[in-house]
Amino acid sequence: MGDADSLSRASKALHFVFNELQDKKSFGFTGSKGEGATYFPYQQISWAVKYAIDATLAIPVAHFNHVVIDTFPTHLSLTDNRLTVVTDTIRKKLNHKKADNVIDVLDVGCGKGRFINAMHILHPDALSITGTDISIDMLRMAKSRKYVTSPTAIMPKYVKSAATSLPFPDNSFDIVYMVESMEHVLFVNATLRECHRILKNNGVLHVIDKTTDDVHQRSTLWELEKWEKWYGIEEFESFMHPLFGKNNVSSTRLEMEDGLFVAWTAIK
């Protein structure tokens, strides 16, 4: 839908679909329902589930494109603690790479590209950085940035993609990171499986986000969208354990003023 008002109407319609039309045991949908229903009223239609999932996934896209896009920041301090988590891993990778190799980095849910821009400033010719986002408008703004230009600089690449189906081959990236994007993901386990799949052996995943285990209990003051969620520190670690192994997962509380941020790290 094309604006905030129509998004509100669409959300109400989808709420009706799931609350009034969905079978609560099978989670499917009959072809029609109610008085006078004649189109497969007693049979559940396979494509109805597919369209319901598509509609659900469209909610955050529409929200980003038409409601909050102007509120997302465009700049980032090079001393930001969230950035430092990723750049520390980059430096370790650079210290062990061969002279003619570059480090392949993926930003999942890159938004306007501010983290990509910061890393490009710090390492313009050593990183091959790709950003993905579900919002084409966010990507358009990211692509419009003025990046470092030099004969050896590697320009960032941007791809429209959901986090649950990343369009990259297995074992593609040395580092995958998500900064304040996991909270918007509808299917966390599917997203983590994709991140694990595209990581190279010994690759590193960083998930940096707000937590309900925040120091000042500020999380209770935030009103999240129905499809957004923050996680406890141990809770999110438990999502990563089956894929990466318990010994390869760790978390660090970031020293930021609001006390909300944690960096979860997993090594493949």
DSSP string for 10-74: HHHHHHHIIIIIS-TTT---BS--STT--SSTTSB-HHHHHHHHHHHHHHHHHHIIIIIGGGS--
Copy the structure tokens of residue 59: 């909610």
Query: Per residue in 234-254, pLDDT tens?
Result: 999 999 999 999 999 999 999
The segment(s) of the chain belonging to CATH 3.40.50.150 are 81-267
User: Of 2.40.50.140, 3.40.50.150, 1.10.10.10, 3.40.50.300, which CATH number belongs to 81-267?
Assistant: 3.40.50.150
Q: Check residue 67 and give its pLDDT.
A: 77
Q: Report percent pLDDT > 70 for the chain.
A: 97
The distance from CA 156 to its chain's CA centroid, rounded to whole angstroms, is 18
Average pLDDT (198-214) is: 95
Q: Check residue 219 and give its pLDDT.
A: 66
Q: Check residue 41 and give its pLDDT.
A: 93
Query: Per residue in 68-118, pLDDT tens?
Result: 788 888 889 999 999 999 999 999 999 887 767 899 999 999 999 999 999
> Are 129 and 105 contacting, i.e. CB atoms less than 8 angstroms apart?
yes
Q: Check residue 99 and give its pLDDT.
A: 67
17-21, 52-56, 161-165: segment of lowest average pLDDT: 52-56
Would you say residue 132 has pLDDT above 70?
yes
Would you say residue 189 has pLDDT above 70?
yes
Query: Per residue in 134-154, pLDDT tens?
Result: 999 999 999 998 888 888 899
127-133 and 103-108 beta bridge pairing: parallel
- Spatial separation of the C-alpha atoms in residues 199 and 205, rounded to whole Å: 8
Q: Check residue 2 and give its pLDDT.
A: 65
